Amino acid sequence: MEKFNSFLESTGCRLISVVAMAVFGYLIVGQIIKQMKIGLLSSKIDNSLVNFILTFVRFMLLLALVLVCLANMGIPLDGVVGAISAATLAIGLALKDILSSVANGIMLVINCPFKENDYVEIGGVGGSVVEVKLMHTVLNTPDNKMVMIPNSQVYSASIVNYSKNETRRMDLKVGIDYSENPEKVRDILLDVAKRHPMVYTEPAPQVRYSYGDASSISFNVRVWCRNSDYWTVKWDLDEQLTRTLIDKGISIPFPQVTVSYRKEASK
């Protein structure tokens, strides 16, 4: 009993207070993260970045709580910091790719090249942005596949954001037979493009002669529309341009090859 009382007097009470501090500190950290989440969701910060920020802040707060608890137990922090530094170096060498992804994730949060629901192409992989996590970015492809790309690859790859700008240009290619009148066909294509209600009048639609293929004369039909209407306009014009040319009696060629042979003169 004397030893137990001595333990309580020297260490027990301090240990109990540290445990209580750890429990209450953990609860306080949870409340801070909860309030931060409410504030971040109501701010202009994109939702795809909220979880990344909260995860990083939670880690830093818990690390600070551990250091405070160790200090209250009388453990010198100089040795702890040295041990943490040595462990960090060892972990950094072993997990350099993971740490690189975390660091690049922070750069993505700072630069913000895309936001939630933006359609992007990262290193040849296209999809809508679902979330930027601590170590990877999540995309959802048009055929409903989830793709997770490490942030180290995201930040080092070329990023094409198709949703960033409000307007977008569309280029369609149309081919006609060599026997048709190019000027007549150009007027028909231009009229179809202008009549579509989602196509902008400024910049105005353009139809230009492109080049001659092996079996057709090609035209480029260039229009501008709202980004959100892009696929609707494309599908409509693909159908309307072809149908109008057929209704007007314009011949649309198919790939063909003309074969000729030379008869050698007899010796």
Global pTM?
Answer: 0.59
Task: Supply the range of the domain harboring residue 229.
Answer: 167-247
Residues 230 and 189 in one domain: yes
Range 199-204 contact pairs with CB under 8 angstroms and sequence separation of 24 or more: 199/223, 199/224, 199/225, 199/233, 200/167, 200/224, 200/225, 200/226
Which residues, including other chains, have CB under 8 Å from residue 173's CB and lie 6 or more apart? 210, 218, 219, 220, 221
Q: How far apart, in whole angstroms, are the C-alpha atoms of residue 230 and residue 141? A: 17
Q: How far apart, in whole angstroms, are the C-alpha atoms of residue 38 and residue 53? A: 13
CB–CB of 122/154 below 8 Å? yes
In the predicted structure, residue 10 carries a pLDDT above the cut 90:
no
Q: What is the pLDDT of residues 16-67, one digit of tens each?
A: 777 888 888 888 888 888 888 888 777 766 666 677 778 878 888 888 888 7
Q: What is the pLDDT of residues 149-184, one digit of tens each?
A: 988 888 888 889 998 899 999 999 998 888 888 899
Residues 173 and 149 in one domain: no
Residues 76 and 146 in one domain: no
Residues 171 and 157 in one domain: no
Residues 75 and 118 in one domain: no
Cα distances from 198 to residues 38, 172, 245, in angstroms, run: 38, 16, 21
CATH of residue 145: 2.30.30.60
Beta bridge partners of 161: 120
Q: Is residue 252 one of the residues assigned to a domain?
A: no
Residues 146 and 174 in one domain: no
Residues 149 and 213 in one domain: no
CB–CB of 220/237 below 8 Å? no
Q: Is residue 256 one of the residues assigned to a domain?
A: no
Residues 184 and 130 in one domain: no
Residues 152 and 179 in one domain: no
Residues 7 and 64 in one domain: yes
Q: Could you give the number of structural domains in the chain?
A: 3
Q: How far apart, in whole angstroms, are the C-alpha atoms of residue 184 and residue 70? A: 85
CATH of residue 191: 3.30.70.100
Q: What is the pLDDT of residues 125-144, one digit of tens each?
A: 999 998 887 778 899 999 99
Which residues, including other chains, have CB under 8 Å from residue 100's CB and lie 6 or more apart? 151, 152
Could you say which of 41, 68, 94 is where a domain stops? Answer: 94
Which residues, including other chains, have CB under 8 Å from residue 188's CB and lie 6 or more apart? 244, 245, 248, 250
CATH of residue 60: 1.10.287.1260
Residues 25 and 49 in one domain: yes
* Two tokens, residue 161: 């954001």
| Pair type for strands 217-226 and 206-212 | antiparallel
Residues 201 and 226 in one domain: yes
